[in-house]
């Protein structure tokens, strides 16, 4: 059985908001069978997206052990900043909802817990024949580490873990890889941007290329994330926003400016330098969340700087 060891280190500071919400950054290392500390091994970062995290059963008992044995490498999972929505933390004014939809005073009296609330709201939509819950009613979801950073702090978290690991173990610096899916792919690509001569291969499966504002600004431009359900061949959705400190108010110290967008953008050509990193980028042409055209542009930029990049599109 593969051994996994957890470490805690001092987390990087949030240099954008100057907030220090965490006392420790946790990461886990899974070792290949028969590992000897005297041997230099490759290192793989396995970065999950939203809905998964480094301590989940899949990451701990399936993915990391498989990669560790197949590639005879140390495989690392990081509990990065805001890696999970806190599905137990919802904020909504039920009295406001009741008045908005003209409901009986006792309509929400039998609601107990988050799942019960979501089920009741979906039942309300079906009952009223309304496809979407009104976003102005403000269903807000809490998140791990209190507020989102969208890629920036998570990338720094992984680079901090890498720095710590190089002091603890012998690492083959010619075999340091990243594989990330969805939001995890975006984090991996940012790591390559921030530390361009560090990684041998970066694999991005369906990651973002630019900031998705509704992941960082509360109900930005009437956009939001959604819970979806289907009833009688009709789709219903409940928009929600995440608890955040960022704002589009230019007078606020938490203003999310164009420069904040640029540092997170994989399409900012002026931020690139020559590197030997190989990029393998997978994306579906059917992806409605992240345009495949963004990936085409990203690959074109990478190849201008002697970076070997290839985009593989799937249906």
Domains and CATH numbers, the chain: 4-84+149-209+256-314 (3.40.50.1820), 85-145+214-242 (no CATH)
User: What does the block give as tokens for 71?
Assistant: 């590639």
Question: What was the pLDDT predicted at 232?
Answer: 84
Which pLDDT tens digits describe the chain residue by residue (315 residues)? 789 999 999 999 999 998 876 889 999 999 999 999 999 999 999 999 987 899 999 999 999 999 999 999 999 999 999 876 655 567 788 999 999 999 999 999 888 877 788 889 999 999 999 998 887 887 777 666 668 899 999 999 999 999 999 999 999 999 999 999 999 999 999 999 999 999 999 999 999 999 988 778 876 555 557 788 888 889 898 887 777 888 889 999 999 999 999 999 999 999 999 999 999 999 998 888 889 999 999 999 999 887 777 778 765
| pTM reported for the whole predicted model | 0.84
Q: Do 29 and 177 touch, CB atoms closer than 8 A? A: no
Question: What was the pLDDT predicted at 310?
Answer: 77
Q: Do 199 and 177 touch, CB atoms closer than 8 A? A: yes
The maximal CA–CA distance of the chain, rounded, in angstroms, is 70
Tokens 């791990």 map to which residue?
Answer: 144
Question: What was the pLDDT predicted at 85?
Answer: 63
Tokens 């955040």 map to which residue?
Answer: 244
Q: How far apart are CA 23 and CA 128, in angstroms?
A: 47
């Amino acid at each position: 059985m593969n051994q996994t060891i957890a470490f805690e280190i001092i987390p990087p500071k949030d240099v954008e908001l100057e907030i220090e919400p965490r006392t420790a950054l946790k990461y886990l290392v899974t070792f290949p069978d028969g590992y000897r500390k005297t041997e230099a091994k490759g290192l793989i970062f396995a970065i999950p997206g939203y809905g998964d995290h480094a301590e989940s059963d899949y990451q701990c008992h399936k993915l990391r052990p498989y990669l560790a044995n197949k590639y005879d490498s140390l495989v690392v999972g990081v509990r990065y900043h805001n890696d999970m929505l806190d599905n137990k933390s919802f904020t909504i004014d039920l009295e406001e909802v009741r008045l908005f939809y003209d409901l009986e005073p006792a309509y929400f009296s039998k609601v107990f817990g988050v799942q019960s609330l979501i089920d009741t709201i979906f039942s309300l939509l079906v009952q009223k024949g309304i496809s979407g819950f009104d976003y102005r009613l403000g269903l807000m979801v809490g998140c791990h580490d209190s507020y989102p950073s969208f890629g920036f702090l998570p990338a720094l978290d992984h680079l901090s873990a890498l720095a710590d690991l190089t002091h603890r173990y012998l690492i083959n610096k010619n075999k340091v890889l990243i594989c990330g899916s969805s939001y995890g792919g975006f984090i991996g690509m940012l790591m390559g941007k921030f530390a361009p001569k560090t990684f041998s291969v970066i694999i991005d499966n369906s990651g973002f290329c630019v900031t998705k504002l509704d992941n960082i600004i509360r109900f930005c431009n009437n956009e939001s994330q959604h819970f979806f359900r289907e009833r009688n061949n009709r789709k219903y959705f409940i928009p929600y926003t995440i608890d955040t400190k960022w704002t589009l108010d230019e007078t606020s110290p938490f203003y999310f400016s164009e420069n904040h967008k640029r540092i997170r953008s994989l399409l900012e050509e002026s931020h690139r330098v020559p590197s030997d990193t190989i990029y393998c980028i997978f994306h579906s042409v059917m992806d409605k969340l992240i345009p495949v055209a963004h990936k085409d542009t990203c690959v074109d930029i990478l190849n201008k700087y002697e970076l070997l990049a290839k985009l593989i599109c799937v249906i």
